[in-house]
């Protein structure tokens, strides 16, 4: 039986795969850009500072496509697992589960838990996954 535990956030995913007594650990980076509006027009001495139009919709659309590519790579990495556990500090794990439900129903059926977990070191992630599948 092959069990995979995934701790993921917007930046990276740590995949712990357990097969009998052996354990493997892999890190998959998302390459999702961070949003930093820049620019500005006018002068700094203007009454309300520099004014500029920030194109939020363009950024959000690009981020959506980057998440889709990230989730596709992650689904590819765990496709051979028999049981899957998802952990993460933010809503990224829930977004990934929703993506699995929509586009990867065979993988979504293997997800046993989606749980919040704070930022952790690599060893803490390994321990979390081992303890979850031990129970």
Q: Is-contact 4 134, C-beta < 8 A?
A: no
Report pLDDT for 37. 62
Report pLDDT for 118. 92
> pLDDT tens digits, the chain, 135 residues: what are they?
899 999 999 999 999 999 988 999 999 999 988 876 665 555 566 666 666 666 778 888 999 999 999 999 999 999 999 999 999 998 999 999 999 999 999 999 999 999 999 999 999 999 999 999 998
Report pLDDT for 83. 96
Domain locations in the chain as residue ranges: 2-32+57-134
Report pLDDT for 34. 80
Report pLDDT for 53. 65
Report pLDDT for 59. 84
Report pLDDT for 49. 62
The pTM of the full predicted model, rounded to 2 decimals, is 0.83
Phi/psi for 113 (5° steps) reads -155, 145
Report pLDDT for 60. 87
The single-letter DSSP state of residue 43 is -
CATH topology for 2-32+57-134 is Nucleotidyltransferase; domain 5 (3.30.420)
């Amino acid at each position: 039986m092959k069990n995979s535990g995934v701790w993921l956030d917007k930046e990276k995913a740590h995949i712990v795969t357990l097969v009998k007594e052996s354990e493997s650990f892999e890190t998959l980076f998302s390459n999702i850009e961070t949003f930093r509006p820049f620019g500005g027009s006018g002068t700094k001495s203007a009454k309300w500072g520099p004014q500029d139009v920030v194109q939020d919709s363009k950024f959000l659309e690009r981020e959506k496509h980057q998440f889709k590519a990230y989730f596709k790579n992650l689904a590819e990495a765990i496709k051979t697992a028999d049981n899957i556990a998802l952990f993460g500090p933010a809503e990224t794990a829930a977004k990934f589960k929703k993506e699995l439900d929509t586009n990867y129903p065979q993988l979504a059926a293997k997800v046993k838990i989606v749980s919040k977990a704070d930022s952790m070191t690599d060893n803490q992630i390994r321990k979390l996954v081992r303890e979850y599948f031990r129970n």
